[in-house]
Amino acid sequence: MFEVAELGHTVEKSLYKEKSAQLRTQLLTIQHQLKSCPFSVIIIISGVDGGGKGEVIHKLNEWLDPRHMRTIALGEASDEERERPTFWRYWRTLPAKGTIGVYVGSWYSDPIAQRVYQKVDDNALQTELTQINQLEKLLADDNTLIIKCWLHLKKADQAKRLKSLAKNPATKWRVTDKDRQHLGLYDEFIGVAEQVLTETSKSYAPWLIVEGSDIRYSSLTVGQHVFERIEQHIQQYDATLSTATDLQNSSNNSLIEQYNLLDSLDLSLKLGKSYYKKQLEKYQGKLNELSRHALAANRSSILVFEGWDAAGKGGAIRRLTESMDARHYQVIPIAAPTDEERSHHYLWRFWRHIPRAGQVTIYDRSWYGRVLVERVEGLAKNSHWQRAYSEIVNFEEALLAHGIVIMKFWLHIDKDEQIDRFKRREQISYKQFKITDEDYRNREKWDDYQKAVNEMIARTSTSKSPWLLVESNDKYYARIKIIKAYCERLEKMLDEIN
Amino acid sequence: MFEVAELGHTVEKSLYKEKSAQLRTQLLTIQHQLKSCPFSVIIIISGVDGGGKGEVIHKLNEWLDPRHMRTIALGEASDEERERPTFWRYWRTLPAKGTIGVYVGSWYSDPIAQRVYQKVDDNALQTELTQINQLEKLLADDNTLIIKCWLHLKKADQAKRLKSLAKNPATKWRVTDKDRQHLGLYDEFIGVAEQVLTETSKSYAPWLIVEGSDIRYSSLTVGQHVFERIEQHIQQYDATLSTATDLQNSSNNSLIEQYNLLDSLDLSLKLGKSYYKKQLEKYQGKLNELSRHALAANRSSILVFEGWDAAGKGGAIRRLTESMDARHYQVIPIAAPTDEERSHHYLWRFWRHIPRAGQVTIYDRSWYGRVLVERVEGLAKNSHWQRAYSEIVNFEEALLAHGIVIMKFWLHIDKDEQIDRFKRREQISYKQFKITDEDYRNREKWDDYQKAVNEMIARTSTSKSPWLLVESNDKYYARIKIIKAYCERLEKMLDEIN
């Protein structure tokens, strides 16, 4: 697959001068247009050692306006990064809308290096490539433009290049022992690279293979490619805007409409007050102990609370946090996103709060807003919330793979109980502010929400990350069910690692 | 000073129950009001070991709505934190406006512990307390409410408390070897604490000393204090609003009006093109080498560019970055703040981008906007931009103390040169977008800006962090002056550490 990049392409110095001046104008102009576009650009520069990655990135920085781009060099992970799922460090560096992020050392670096050095087998590599494809698909679906360039060198050229770098005192420092070691593994490296490029070349994120033996040729080629891709992407985006006919909420015949999980819940379940108190004390004590063990074992938890307005999320959360150490948990209420959050993929704001090792993050409402409120209120397009199901499942799988305990609670009450609670809250001084007109408006769309909840559960309750449906007409019953379930999950996790 | 907290205060269980229910309502109500206030609340819970800090924080978390507060436990610094100035980790955790941050292990922990263990002397402690006072003053000036509670125990009570914690299997884990070690140093600890509390009890951030021997007493006292301080702060703030008569831009007779630094610059200075090219090549080569040495030595740089519109900041920045490795620098253009930035102190957005060890951050416009555009355009009140001078000096001192190289460039052109450049830019396709109506509007306020620049330089050019005034009517001259100055500064720094 690399034959085309072994032909010995070069560019004359004078031609280069002319072309690069022209390209710079083009790039600055398109970069200016990009600033007001609602998408970001990711440029990945990868390839063989000595292929001129550094030089090409340097040229891009020279041609483009450095104030609206950023070069992201991911070397060794920091401890804050190592304590979170692998992809957290990529998420935190993703460029905001209107800007460009150039990655040197991207999500491709580790998988390739580990396979070449045989630290992982083929299956593990496949798994990693699947995750990479999921990430890139999710970004592309959010209109992110992904440009991937692979700088190739023939084996003989690579040796020559490294030798000449090592001879020059000004560039000697750049040739590391690792480079020399790589050189001995050229064939293995090319084999793995072929596999990676094949598996991850998608219509929305194709690889461009560029011959790296002549810097003038490779930087012009990459620069030209970057310009064309951005220009094309802006045109396509403009075109979509004018022909957009997304049929809002038109797919009313969903697969799972026929059955209704929520209706199957027995909302008459309840506990007596004194029994509740005893149970609460028991499980709070237990949770206090278990959460200390989980902390000692560096195992984090993510607890997701969803449910009807006034279903008792806040009260249930408080019964959990009461028995936990305030230094180790964080409750994140999800309301309207900030403008920094709006300028990224909708999952970015949740990645921000992923806990460090041993810590607990409790989301009071969550990424499921995408398939609940955003769906019902028409804030997200049909195609957006529909693909969110698999994006969410993949997201949670990445968390699970890092050993994080995830629990998802749906607190269910019926319509009568809800109105009773609204009325009662309006009577209590410090709860009055909890009831707003919006609550009444949401109530009117009960049936739409019910349908959305059913579909959400059907599509995102997986064996590894199931939804726990909580009968919540009786607060006592609900709280005990939740704290007990969390205790059991922690116990199981601790058993497994001991 | 702790006598009042050794009287054996206690609260009966039944009284506690009644009082705490009442307090909870009060706290929830005031916390709801706080949500729409343009300031944040910082609660620092400090004190002797065994004084019940954990219990009090636990109670605060129980009483308040955990969704709009956060407990910040600062233990050992992460590597990302250690690579930056000490206070970076506090800045990154500061609560946003309308929310509460409860600190356990605050900026007081290290100074006290280090002095008790005699790792630092009295002078070093004094320096740290000065920095703490500066931070708290700066936050208080931004309307942040700072509540500081010190939980005290008699020597005998402390020993008893630790013993009882150690005996109970459920709390045994909480007593560490460090606690036992502290116990032996009780008198030293109290001595240092007295000094710290005396030095840092200010009208805007007073310490409340609370007896810690009875948890019910201490948590009620702290909770009550928190409620009263927040209530009072909201009332005061409302009062200020209605009587605010800040005389916008009224102080026209500034100290330094009589002389004009900018007029003293010789704007006829220039370089011939071929000489410029040779010099540029020389210094770019030098900078490339020096910046690699600085990276190897883990020494970061912060470069600040200010200057008239069209003074050539972008071009000068590009001449620097061309000779640097794109993986190690970052250009931050300062435009309007995001809403997350607006919900913090104005320096917060600059702290965010403080480079890790060895990295370089280039600010294209900076915190000096506070005393330039915000002053001239009336975006900041008089009292705000006036106190900004010392806030900025303190900020830069903190960076310098961490060994960061700071350079501040003012690019100066005259009015004629500016209008020529505006006209020329309008002719060049890819530079057109650089000229907007705002540029012409700013130009009309040239004299006001000139006065602000003069005062800025007079007040913030310190021996350790001087302004470099750059004669920029000739771009060649300006670029060489800048790159040469940065090279010399790096050289000097590298000499000093070798």
Over residues A126-177, the pLDDT tens digits come to 999 999 999 999 999 999 999 999 999 988 888 888 888 888 877 777 777 7
The verdict on a CB contact (< 8 Å) between A430 and B58 is no
Yes or no: say if A77 and A110 are a contact pair by the CB < 8 Å rule: no
The verdict on a CB contact (< 8 Å) between A326 and B57 is yes
Cα–Cα dist A205/B21, whole Å: 58
A263 to chain B, closest Cα gap in Å: 30
The pLDDT of B380-405, averaged and rounded, is 91
Cα nearest neighbour of B81 on chain A: A80
* CA terminus-to-terminus distance, chain A: 48
- Average pLDDT of chain B, as a whole number: 89
Cα–Cα dist A408/A83, whole Å: 22
Cα nearest neighbour of B318 on chain A: A62
The pLDDT of B36-57, averaged and rounded, is 92
The verdict on a CB contact (< 8 Å) between A314 and B67 is yes
Residue A98 burial (10 A CB sphere; 0-12, 13-18, 19+): middle
The segments of chain A whose pLDDT lies below 70 read 241-259, 429-430, 433
What pLDDT does residue B146 have?
97
A434 to chain B, closest Cα gap in Å: 10
Q: Which of residues 391-420 of B touch A (CB under 8 A)?
A: none
Helices A155-167 and A177-184: crossing angle in degrees, nearest 10, is 160
Yes or no: say if A478 and A276 are a contact pair by the CB < 8 Å rule: no
Q: Which of residues 363-382 of A touch B (CB under 8 A)?
A: 364
Question: What is this model's ipTM?
Answer: 0.78
Run of H or E residues at B279:
helix B273-296
Residue B429 in contact with partner chain A when CB distance is under 8 A: yes
Candidate from B43-52, B76-85, B129-138, B239-248 with smallest mean pLDDT:
B239-248
- Give A-chain residues touching B327 at CB under 8 angstroms: 57, 71, 73, 104
Most A CBs within 10 Å: which of B61, B303, B324, as the mutation test of the A interface? B61
The pLDDT of B5-17, averaged and rounded, is 88
Most A CBs within 10 Å: which of B327, B334, B338, B359, as the mutation test of the A interface? B327
Run of H or E residues at A209:
strand A207-211
B339 to chain A, closest Cα gap in Å: 6
Cα nearest neighbour of A293 on chain B: B173
Chain A with chain B: Cβ pairs closer than 8 A = 114
pLDDT class of B373 with cuts at 50, 70, 90: very high
Q: Which residues contact B215 (CB under 8 A, 6 or more apart)?
A: B52, B55, B56
Cα–Cα dist B485/B481, whole Å: 6
Cα–Cα dist B71/B366, whole Å: 31
Ordered domains of chain B (ranges, CATH): 3-238 (3.40.50.300), 262-497 (3.40.50.300)
Most confident range (mean pLDDT) of A87-101, B249-263, B421-435 is A87-101
The verdict on a CB contact (< 8 Å) between B326 and A32 is no
The verdict on a CB contact (< 8 Å) between B333 and A58 is no
Pick A327's closest partner by Cβ from B29, B73, B333. B73
Over residues A482-498, the pLDDT tens digits come to 999 999 999 999 999 88
Report chain B's C-alpha Rg in angstroms: 27
Query: Which two structure tokens, joined as six digits, stand for B257?
Result: 């009006």
* CA terminus-to-terminus distance, chain B: 48
pLDDT class of B356 with cuts at 50, 70, 90: very high
Q: Which of residues 100-119 of A touch B (CB under 8 A)?
A: 102, 104
Residue A64 in contact with partner chain B when CB distance is under 8 A: no
Residue A202 bridge partners (DSSP): A205
What pLDDT does residue B163 have?
83
What pLDDT does residue B462 have?
85
Residue B143 in contact with partner chain A when CB distance is under 8 A: no
Pick B25's closest partner by Cβ from A62, A330, A429. A429
Q: B94 to each of A339, A404, A425, B108, B249, how far by Cα in Å?
A: 19, 27, 32, 15, 31
Yes or no: say if B267 and B69 are a contact pair by the CB < 8 Å rule: no
What pLDDT does residue A459 have?
87
Most B CBs within 10 Å: which of A71, A286, A327, as the mutation test of the B interface? A327
> Taking 80 as the threshold, does the pLDDT of residue B232 lie above it?
yes
Over residues B293-330, the pLDDT tens digits come to 999 999 999 999 999 999 999 999 999 999 999 889 99
What pLDDT does residue B259 have?
55
Q: Which of residues 278-337 of B touch A (CB under 8 A)?
A: 285, 288-289, 292, 314, 317-318, 321-322, 325-328, 330-333
B3 to chain A, closest Cα gap in Å: 30
A253 to chain B, closest Cα gap in Å: 38
Cα nearest neighbour of A81 on chain B: B80
> Taking 80 as the threshold, does the pLDDT of residue B177 lie above it?
no
Three-state secondary structure string covering A150-168: EEECCHHHHHHHHHHHHHC
The verdict on a CB contact (< 8 Å) between A430 and B25 is yes
B316 to chain A, closest Cα gap in Å: 12
The pLDDT of B388-393, averaged and rounded, is 91
The verdict on a CB contact (< 8 Å) between B70 and A330 is yes
B416 to chain A, closest Cα gap in Å: 27
Query: Which two structure tokens, joined as six digits, stand for B399?
Result: 């960076």
Q: Which of residues 347-366 of A touch B (CB under 8 A)?
A: 364
DSSP letter at B337? P
